[in-house]
Amino acid sequence: MNMLTRRLLIAATATFALAGHASAQDKSIVVASTTSTQDSGLFGHILPMFKAKTGIDVKVVAQGTGQALDTARRGDADVVFVHAKPAEEKFLSEGFGVKRYPVMYNDFVLIGPKADPAGIKGSTDIVAALGAIKAKGADFISRGDKSGTHQAEINLWKVAGVDVAKDKGPWYKEIGQGMGAALNTASASNAYVLADRGTWLSFKNRGDLVIAVEGDKRLFNQYGVMLVNPEKHPSVKKDLGQQLIDWLVSAEGQKAIADYKINGEQLFYPNANDSGA
Give dist(CA 179, CA 37) in Å, integer: 11
**What are all long-range contacts of 130-136, with beta carbons under 8 Å and residues at least 24 apart?**
130/156, 130/157, 130/160, 130/162, 131/160, 131/161, 131/162, 133/171, 133/192, 134/160, 134/162, 134/167, 134/171
Question: In angstroms, what is the minimal distance from the CB of 35 to another protein?
Answer: 7
- The residue among 34 and 271 lying less far from another protein, judged by its C-beta, is 34
Asked whether 223 and 87 are in contact (CB, 8 A), the reply is: no
Question: In angstroms, what is the minimal distance from the CB of 160 to another protein?
Answer: 28
- The residue among 5 and 93 lying less far from another protein, judged by its C-beta, is 5
Question: In angstroms, what is the minimal distance from the CB of 139 to another protein?
Answer: 18
Task: Kindly list the residues in this chain that would bind another protein in the complex (CB under 8 A).
Answer: 1, 5, 8-13, 15-17, 19-21, 23-24, 30, 35, 39, 41, 44, 57, 59-62, 74-76, 177-181, 183-184, 187, 202-206, 233, 235
Question: In angstroms, what is the minimal distance from the CB of 274 to another protein?
Answer: 30
- The residue among 117 and 207 lying less far from another protein, judged by its C-beta, is 207
- The residue among 125 and 174 lying less far from another protein, judged by its C-beta, is 174
Per-residue burial over 218-256, b if 16 or more Cβ lie within 10 Å, else e, is ebebbbbbbbbbbeebeebbbebbbbbbebbbeeebbeb
- The residue among 71 and 151 lying less far from another protein, judged by its C-beta, is 71
Asked whether 140 and 189 are in contact (CB, 8 A), the reply is: no
Question: In angstroms, what is the minimal distance from the CB of 222 to another protein?
Answer: 23
Give dist(CA 101, CA 249) in Å, integer: 8
Contacts of 142 (CB under 8 A, 6+ apart): 150, 153, 164, 172, 173, 174, 175, 182, 193, 194
- The residue among 101 and 203 lying less far from another protein, judged by its C-beta, is 203
Q: Is the dihedral of CA 199, 57, 47, 86 positive or negative?
A: positive
Smallest CA-to-CA distance from 83 within 148, 179, 152, 1 is with 148
- The residue among 12 and 251 lying less far from another protein, judged by its C-beta, is 12
Question: In angstroms, what is the minimal distance from the CB of 148 to another protein?
Answer: 16
Question: In angstroms, what is the minimal distance from the CB of 102 to another protein?
Answer: 25
